[in-house]
Structure 1
Amino acid sequence: MSREPGRHRIGVQPGQVQPRRWDLAKRAAAAQLDQLEPAWHIAYGVGSRKFTAIAIWQAPKPLRVEAPTIEELREQIREAELGAMPMPADLMVRAS
C-alpha cells in the first residue's frame, strides 16, 4: 500500500501554485447587480455558492437576504424593501 510521495515532504523544493479564480461569471453578475441596486451591497460567496444582498440604507432593522440565483435575489430584495416600508397605520400612530 505505498503511494507516490507528494510534494509536501522534507527535501522537496516547493513548487509554484497558480491561483484559481472561482465562479467568475457569478461574481461578475453580482458586481453588475451591485451597480444596478445602489441601496444594496451585492456579493457572491464562492464558499457558500450564494448571492447575498445587504441593505445600505437606513432600514428599521438590518436587512440581509441570500439566494442561489440572481433572479431569486432580486425578488427577495423587492420583498425585503416592501416589508421594511412603514404601513399607513404605522404612519398614523407616529403622527399622533
Structure 2
Amino acid sequence: MEHERRQHPRVRPQPALELETDRRVRLEVVDVSPGGLQVRSGRPLRPGAPLRLVVPGSGTRLEATVRRCRAVTEPGGGLTYVSGLELERSEPDILDLL
C-alpha cells in the first residue's frame, strides 16, 4: 500500500487554469494546495529544477521546485507529463491568487 505524503488537501481549480514558467512552458493546473501544485505539460520537467511561475492576467509570481514528473499516455495516443511542484513558501491563500 502506498504511503500518502500529502500534507494539505487538494482542490481542482475551476475553470481550468494555465500557468507560464520562466522557460516558456505552459502548464495546466490539475490541482492546488497551500504547499504545491500538480500540473500537466507537453514537455517533461526535471525533478529538482527550480521554476518561476506566472499567473497570466494577474502578474502573480510563484517560486516552485519540481518534485516529480511522470509520462502519461493520453486516450488518443499522445504523451503528456504530470508533475508535482512544491512551492518555495507555503501559500495559504493560493486559491485566491489563482
Higher strand share: 2
TM-score tier, shorter chain, comes to under 0.3
TM-score normalised according to structure 1 size:
0.25
Higher helix share: 1
Does 1 or 2 have the higher relative contact order (CA < 8 Å, sep 6+)? 2
TM-score normalised according to structure 2 size:
0.25
